[in-house]
Amino acid sequence: MALSRRDFVQRSAVAGAGVVLVGAVDVLATAPGALAADERGDGEGVRAGYGPLVEDPAGLLALPAGFSYRVVTRTGVTSLVSGESTPSNHDGTAAFEGERGATVLVNNHELGGPRASWPYPVPLAEGLVYDPAASGGCTVVELPRHWPEGGPVTERVAIAGTSTNCAGGTTPWGTWLTCEETEDRAGVNGMTKDHGYVFEVDPREHTPRHAPQPVKALGRYPHEAVVVDPGRGHFYLTEDAANPNGLLYRWTPPAGFRPGRGQLAELAPDAGMLQAFRCFDSGGRFVDDLSRATRIGTVYGVDWIEVPDRDARQTSVRKQFAAGQVTRARKLEGMWWADGGAYIVSSYARAESPAQHDGAVWFYNPSRRTLTLKLLLGVNTTPAADGPDGPFDGPDNITVSPYGGLIVAEDGEGVQHLFGALEDGRTYPLARNDLNIGTEQAPEYSEFTGVTFSPDGRTLFANIQVPGIMLAITGPWRRQPGDC
């Protein structure tokens, strides 16, 4: 059912959020942590975050004083239980409770194209291979209780023969959905099967019940991330694509579907309904691209339009809509389900978008069917700089912190950070990647990925994508001031 203009205005009033009409770009709202406490009117004068970052003598990870890190896995250094090296290009990660107090992590490896292109592809473990020509997949990493004193880390293949495994997401029933960020068909880049699907991985399953099967009902396109509404059963999925820009999708399960381990594999390719989003402002005007929002607090109403051909047999899904049918956004990336809805990242917008920015985080409220802009980063003109409060750019993977606000992994230009973002718009640095994979004259720093907290909230896991390093960060976590 479509959301009427009257419904939208009433719900926006209830939410108490400001509404900004679509129009010309002015000065972008930005949240580099620059607002002083007295300017916000809280009178506390308490600074967000944990203080300045301290340079790492080992040249790997700068953290605030009192924090420390351990390397969990590292490509070319650590090994799988089968003897091969940890695969490279770590990406989306999730943490689960394991047996006897262990922490179990599922780690995507964003490896695309032929296996010969990569020194450390995901090994083709028997019974776990979708397409033997593809180089990507997932590994499962298990940390025993009281690690490292409690015993060694183990790592094994969970799925192989998939391609460009990017952010993904967890399910309410304790599994991992790994997403292929590609549209390669059989015969392209050496592939023997079509790619661009979502696969379900059970981190607790050591012996596979069947070979990997794509969940075709969720569509075939350059998937980035996915979240599941535990109450309504909807799946929300982001698409990281251009020419044209990608879409946000919603999958509604078929009547009678009972979610749980292994149930997605039983779905027919056309099961349920896959739809793309369409936004409009409080005046009922269609919003063609999310970059038009230039103020934090902007609220849009959302309708959903059915995808004509979800398997993209002739035309890419995002190209199946005429102008004016759906809303687009550049680099729709990470998502996280919390607070009764989905936090959604648009990593940046450039010339391919109506307006430019260096990162936005939106919140979709399924009860009100509204999309609210929570964080907007202005264009970073000094990406090589590293001040005490940023500037930050290129948000990608995100997680909701048990200590308030979001923790965001940067995939921007120049210096790369993990940074926090609070409800009042302040941001703060949490970590900096000091590993230079370029040269002294032209330094280069890989993006952060896979940011997620352990089930007990004491450890923050994050990856440096290249060469492929999983890190466990601990320290004096505390509730952030001024956050809800």
Tens of pLDDT, residues 385-408 = 887 777 899 999 999 999 999 999
DSSP string for residues in 19-84: ---S----SPP--SS---HHHHT----PPSSS--EE--TTSSEEEETT-EEEEEEETTTSB-TTSS
Structure tokens at 219: 């569509």
Instruction: Give the mean model confidence (pLDDT) for residues 144-151.
Output: 88
Indicate whether 480 belongs to any domain: yes
Nearest to 293 by CA among 484, 32, 18: 18
Q: Is the pTM for the entire model greater than 0.85?
A: yes
Nearest to 467 by CA among 79, 139, 56, 73: 73
Indicate whether 115 belongs to any domain: no
Indicate whether 157 belongs to any domain: no
Q: Three-state SS for 343? A: strand
Instruction: Give the mean model confidence (pLDDT) for residues 118-142.
Output: 97
Instruction: Give the mean model confidence (pLDDT) for residues 463-470.
Output: 98
pLDDT-derived band at 40 (thresholds 50, 70, 90) equals very low
Whole-number Å distance between alpha carbons of 72 and 3: 47
Nearest to 288 by CA among 234, 327, 247, 338: 327
Nearest to 91 by CA among 125, 123, 137: 137
- DSSP H/E element including 342: strand 341-346
Are residues 64 and 49 in contact, defined by beta-carbon separation less than 8 angstroms?
Answer: yes
Are residues 466 and 452 in contact, defined by beta-carbon separation less than 8 angstroms?
Answer: no
Say what the pLDDT of residue 482 is.
Answer: 66
Indicate whether 123 belongs to any domain: no
Tens of pLDDT, residues 201-236 = 999 988 877 889 999 999 999 999 999 999 999 999
Domain holding 390, by residue range, is 31-86+381-484
Say what the pLDDT of residue 344 is.
Answer: 98
Judge whether residue 282 has pLDDT over 80. Answer: yes
Instruction: Give the mean model confidence (pLDDT) for residues 99-116.
Output: 96
Indicate whether 290 belongs to any domain: no
Q: In what order do the strands lie in the sheet with 169-170?
A: 169-170, 176-179, 198-201
Judge whether residue 125 has pLDDT over 90. Answer: yes
Judge whether residue 34 has pLDDT over 90. Answer: no
Say what the pLDDT of residue 210 is.
Answer: 83
Are residues 484 and 453 in contact, defined by beta-carbon separation less than 8 angstroms?
Answer: no
Indicate whether 49 belongs to any domain: yes
Judge whether residue 3 has pLDDT over 90. Answer: no
Nearest to 153 by CA among 98, 110, 207: 98
Whole-number Å distance between alpha carbons of 356 and 294: 9
161 vs 424: which has the higher pLDDT: 161
Indicate whether 454 belongs to any domain: yes
Domain count, the chain: 1
Indicate whether 484 belongs to any domain: yes
Q: Is the peptide bond before 148 cis (omega within 30 degrees of 0)?
A: yes
Structure tokens at 225: 């991330």
